[in-house]
Amino acid sequence: MIIVHEPAEVARAATGPITFVPTMGALHAGHASLVSLAAAGSGTVVVSVFVNPSQFGPGEDFGRYPRDLAADARLAERAGADILFAPTVETVYPVGFATTVDPGPIAMDLCGRTRPGHFAGVATVVTRLYGLVQPQRAIFGRKDYQQLVVLRQTAVDLALGVDVVGAPTVRDADGLALSSRNAFLSSDERSRALALPACLAAIAAAHHAGERDGTHLEAVGREHLAGLAVEYLELRAADRLGPWTPDRLGVALVAARVGTTRLIDNILLDPAQPGSALASAFPKEPS
Ligand code: PAF
């Protein structure tokens, strides 16, 4: 694997179609699974590491976001990356850069309610990175489900010629979804954070048992979130996050603050395979 900082170096080193894994660094096993998925195909795997200032709001954790390029490079290489692209802010946003990508109403929904501007920042940087890297395919984790929906829509609406692929969430053995922000949790907060997967497991179990009333499913999940600062717990249609009806693939999405750390998680609710294997894969709520 080579580490490069300029798009021209990516173009020089790549052979065949490019599969792209954009990241903000602080790589963990969840990112490794995305890179391994990318490496299972043919062509060149490019991983970018860029902590994008435009997707953080004032007072959010841009300043303290973990940064360790050497550790990221080791993990990316082990997972099968060919090129680690670590551009500077000046390369991504050169003087005079003025265009933004507005993903439309979805950007103000769910996470967008408390993070105005976040999804525009994500859609803008990812579109810009596509331009710099020229991938045929891009892989994103389903843990950031709304982001995945936004980026699918951006690629289709703007005819970017990039096939956007969503990859399953990777969890610790106790069910907590891997996230770079887990590093901010104290051990007590980490235990309390297990309420998120417990809430989703309870919803999936109730769905598996035949419950189809969305309000009731949400109430079942909410029982597990007592004591957390919940931003939202909602059931939506999985394709574009519109209203959910029981005949459609659904997704239960949760966002909550544990201490000062904001965590998100979700679970798919498949009417064809109710509850799927995920409900049993989740642990019980911590006692
Ligand atoms: O998911 C992330 O790490 C970021 O939002 C992304 C997609 C790399 C854009 O900065």
User: Average pLDDT for residues 97-101, to the nearest whole number?
Assistant: 98
- SS3 per residue for the chain: CEEECCHHHHHHHCCCCEEEEEECCCCCHHHHHHHHHHHCCCCEEEEEECCCHHHCCCCCCCCCCCCCHHHHHHHHHHHCCCEEECCCHHHHCCCCCCCCCCCCHHHHCCHHHHCCCHHHHHHHHHHHHHHHHCCCEEEEECCCHHHHHHHHHHHHHCCCCCEEEEECCCECCCCCECCHHHHHCCHHHHHHHCHHHHHHHHHHHHHHCCCCCHHHHHHHHHHHHCCCEEEEEEEEECCCCCECCCCCCEEEEEEEEECCEEEEEEEEECCCCCCCCHHHHCCCCCC
User: What are 78's two structure tokens?
Assistant: 């082990």
Contact 211, 220 (CB under 8 A): yes
pLDDT at position 221, please? 98
Class of the CATH-defined domain 180-278: alpha beta
Task: Please give the distance, rounded to the nearest whole angstrom, from the Cα atom of residue 67 to the centre of ligand 1.
Answer: 14
Which protein residue's CA is at the shortest distance from atom 1 of ligand 1? 23
- Determine the CATH number of domain 2-167: 3.40.50.620
Ligand 1 and 23: CB distance under 6 A: yes
User: Average pLDDT for residues 210-222, to the nearest whole number?
Assistant: 97
Q: Does the pLDDT of residue 219 top 50, yes or no? A: yes
What pLDDT band is residue 275 in, cutting at 50, 70 and 90?
low
pLDDT at position 32, please? 98
Q: Which atom of ligand 1 is nearest to the CA of 126?
A: 9
Task: Please give the distance, rounded to the nearest whole angstrom, from the Cα atom of residue 27 to the centre of ligand 1.
Answer: 12
Which residue among 21, 24, 170, 179 has the greatest number of ligand 1 atoms within 8 angstroms of its CB, and so is best to mutate? 24
Catalytic residues: 31
Task: Please give the distance, rounded to the nearest whole angstrom, from the Cα atom of residue 151 to the centre of ligand 1.
Answer: 10
What pLDDT band is residue 272 in, cutting at 50, 70 and 90?
confident
Q: Does the pLDDT of residue 277 top 80, yes or no? A: no
Ligand 1 and 22: CB distance under 6 A: yes
Q: Does the pLDDT of residue 263 top 50, yes or no? A: yes
pLDDT digits (tens, 9 = 90+) for 135-144: 999 999 999 9
pLDDT at position 274, please? 58
Percent of the chain with pLDDT over 70: 95
pLDDT digits (tens, 9 = 90+) for 168-198: 999 999 999 999 999 999 999 999 999 999 9
Which protein residue's CA is at the shortest distance from atom 9 of ligand 1? 122
Domain spans, the chain: 2-167, 180-278
- Mean residue pLDDT of the chain comes to 94
Task: Please give the distance, rounded to the nearest whole angstrom, from the Cα atom of residue 122 to the centre of ligand 1.
Answer: 6
Ligand 1 and 34: CB distance under 6 A: no
Ligand 1 and 195: CB distance under 6 A: no
User: Average pLDDT for residues 221-250, to the nearest whole number?
Assistant: 96
